[in-house]
């Protein structure tokens, strides 16, 4: 767990003016924009001093300012133990991801075993580890090792290297048109529906981003823009995984039932399934051409993640968290709130595109190494989320986010099918 290391001592803690009565109070509303609001003030033991998210001096909730704490040998010993736990669970996650498909070959669960992605193992193992370290009384002592924000942001920056802008340009017309129309339509529908269900604005932003763009990665970017609580991010990530797994098998089957062409089927799959790996699995089941189109459509949507992060930053700064009578925030405030790792994501995309163009086929091996490193960082992030999550906070969300996510998924299916049929009807790869 990290605390707000950037709040100055003379700034009072702002309440989350948008929360509903059954939502817990969000932490410091003056946090910088590139850090998700992952601290629930109720979780910090009295008198506890936690390290800042950037490795600087510890920060406290004392309005008089941060206090000085001496990190003795005990602190570093417990932190080292925490790192062993996190890295160990991450290694076990990678082991299961790589070996379960082999173990499942020739059995009734072969397709299911091959479809399970690393976020499933990572979050489940993190939750199991959470239970174990809580029972042992270690959880708060080793919490400094749960560097979720660092792992997430590093992983997302590296994700940018997998987005070849030249590939997007090869199907620029229909892919970009579908991405813009689909993201806009599904995001606005989900945002509206979540409001009707009375969900907190921050959770609304996470759900809408996850359904409309690219699942967990988009939810992470949105969390940085709106400063959502870590429990909200964990809840959203869990919903993405639960809905993505059956989609791998259902959408190729429905594409065959509807008699869709490979191009339309691929565009439909790429515009619906919320994780890139699941899109690849479903596209492969639908056929080679469908896989190519699905990958291009999904990568195009991923590339628009930064645009949505900018829009959310501006909306929450200017509308949601702006106090009545307060001066209109300027560009400086927007820059302070903006999740700056998105700039790294964009830079990585540009650099990777240039590198592949210059190095040719030899550059793919280098990009593969970067992608593997990205997977490791995201595994560490998902393990840390599982270790940090508070079950009580998840229970407070109740059934409403599930209903919103399910309804938005159905709307996404219908709108994506209509757009794919219109834009890719005469498309030839």
Mean pLDDT of 78-99: 95
Give the integer Cα–Cα distance in Å for 249 and 115. Answer: 9
Confidence of residue 46 (pLDDT cuts 50, 70, 90): very low
Rama region for 48: left / alpha / beta (φ>0; ψ in -120 to 50; rest): beta
Tokens, residue 129 = 């580890």
Q: Helix, strand, or coil here: 52? A: strand
* 248-285 per-position pLDDT tens digit: 889 999 999 999 998 899 999 988 887 766 787 788 78
Give the integer Cα–Cα distance in Å for 83 and 74. Answer: 14
**pLDDT, greater one: 356 or 148:** 356
What pLDDT does 394 receive? Answer: 61
Q: What is the largest CA-CA distance in the chain?
A: 67
**pLDDT, greater one: 267 or 117:** 267
Give the integer Cα–Cα distance in Å for 134 and 149. Answer: 21
Could you tell me the sign of the dihedral formed by the alpha carbons of 304, 178, 205, 370, in that order?
A: negative
What pLDDT does 14 receive? Answer: 40
What pLDDT does 313 receive? Answer: 80
Give the integer Cα–Cα distance in Å for 21 and 16. Answer: 11
Tokens, residue 315 = 């909306």
The owner of tokens 């709108």 is: 415
Listing DSSP states for 313-371 in one string gives: HHHIIIIISPPTTPPPP-HHHHHHHS-THHHHHHHHHHHHHHHHHHHGGGHHHHHHHHH
* 294-345 per-position pLDDT tens digit: 877 887 787 777 778 778 888 887 777 666 666 676 677 667 766 677 788 8
Tell whether the model's pLDDT for residue 92 goes beyond 90.
yes
Could you tell me which residues are beta bridge partners of residue 50? 59
Mean pLDDT of 415-419: 93
Contact indicator for 24, 42 with CB cutoff of 8 Å: yes
Q: At what angle are helices 363-388 and 73-104 packed, to 10 degrees?
A: 120
What pLDDT does 174 receive? Answer: 82
**CA end-to-end span of the chain:** 47
Which CA distances in Å does 45 have to 85, 145, 233?
22, 17, 22
Confidence of residue 176 (pLDDT cuts 50, 70, 90): confident
Mean pLDDT of 229-234: 80
Q: Where are the domains of the chain?
A: 82-424
Listing DSSP states for 124-139 in one string gives: HHHHHHHHHHHHHT-H
Rama region for 72: left / alpha / beta (φ>0; ψ in -120 to 50; rest): beta
Average pLDDT across the chain, whole number: 77
* 62-85 per-position pLDDT tens digit: 333 333 445 778 899 999 999 999
| For the ranges 15-19, 45-49, 245-249, 388-392, the one whose mean pLDDT is highest | 245-249
Tokens, residue 300 = 């195009």
Output the CA torsion 344→350→355→358 (10° steps). Answer: -160
Q: What number of CA atoms fall less than 13 Å from residue 270's CA on the CB side?
A: 29
Other C-beta atoms closer than 10 Å to the C-beta of 359 total 13
């Amino acid at each position: 767990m990290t605390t707000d290391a950037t709040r100055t001592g003379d700034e009072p803690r702002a309440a989350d003016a948008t929360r509903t009565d059954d939502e817990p109070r969000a932490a410091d509303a003056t946090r910088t924009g590139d850090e998700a609001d992952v601290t629930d003030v109720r979780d910090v033991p009295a008198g506890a001093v936690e390290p800042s998210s950037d490795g600087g001096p510890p920060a406290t909730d004392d309005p008089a300012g941060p206090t000085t704490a001496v990190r003795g040998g005990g602190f570093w010993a417990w932190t080292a133990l925490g790192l062993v736990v996190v890295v160990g669970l991450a290694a076990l996650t990678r082991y299961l991801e790589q070996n379960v498909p082999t173990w499942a070959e020739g059995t009734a669960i072969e397709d299911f075993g091959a479809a399970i992605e690393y976020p499933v193992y990572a979050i489940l193992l993190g939750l199991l580890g959470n239970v174990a370290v809580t029972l042992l009384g270690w959880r708060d002592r080793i919490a400094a090792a749960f560097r979720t924000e660092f792992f997430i942001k590093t992983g997302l920056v590296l994700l940018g290297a997998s987005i070849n802008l030249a590939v997007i340009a090869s199907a620029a017309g229909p892919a970009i048109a579908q991405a813009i129309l689909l993201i806009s339509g599904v995001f606005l529908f989900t945002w509206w529906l979540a409001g009707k269900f009375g969900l907190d604005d921050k959770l609304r932003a996470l759900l809408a981003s996850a359904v409309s763009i690219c699942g967990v990665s988009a939810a992470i970017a949105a969390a940085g823009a709106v400063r959502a609580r870590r429990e909200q991010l964990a809840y959203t990530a869990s919903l993405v995984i639960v809905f993505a797994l059956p989609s791998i098998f259902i959408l190729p089957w429905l594409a065959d039932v509807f008699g869709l062409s490979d191009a339309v089927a691929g565009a439909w799959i790429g515009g619906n399934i919320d994780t890139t790996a699941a899109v690849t699995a479903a596209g492969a089941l639908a056929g080679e051409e469908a896989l190519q189109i699905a990958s291009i459509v999904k990568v195009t949507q991923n590339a628009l993640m930064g645009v949505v992060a900018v829009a959310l930053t501006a909306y929450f700064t200017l509308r949601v968290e702006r106090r009545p009578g307060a001066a209109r925030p300027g560009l400086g405030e927007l820059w302070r709130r903006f999740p700056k790792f998105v700039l790294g994501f964009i830079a990585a995309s540009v650099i990777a595109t240039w590198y592949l163009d210059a190095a040719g086929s030899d550059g793919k091996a280098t990009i593969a190494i970067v992608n593997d490193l990205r997977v490791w960082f995201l595994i560490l992030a998902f393990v840390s989320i599982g270790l940090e999550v508070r079950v009580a906070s998840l229970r407070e969300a109740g059934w409403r986010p599930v209903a919103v996510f399910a309804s938005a998924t159905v709307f996404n299916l219908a709108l994506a099918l209509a757009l794919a049929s219109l834009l890719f009807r005469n498309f030839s790869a």
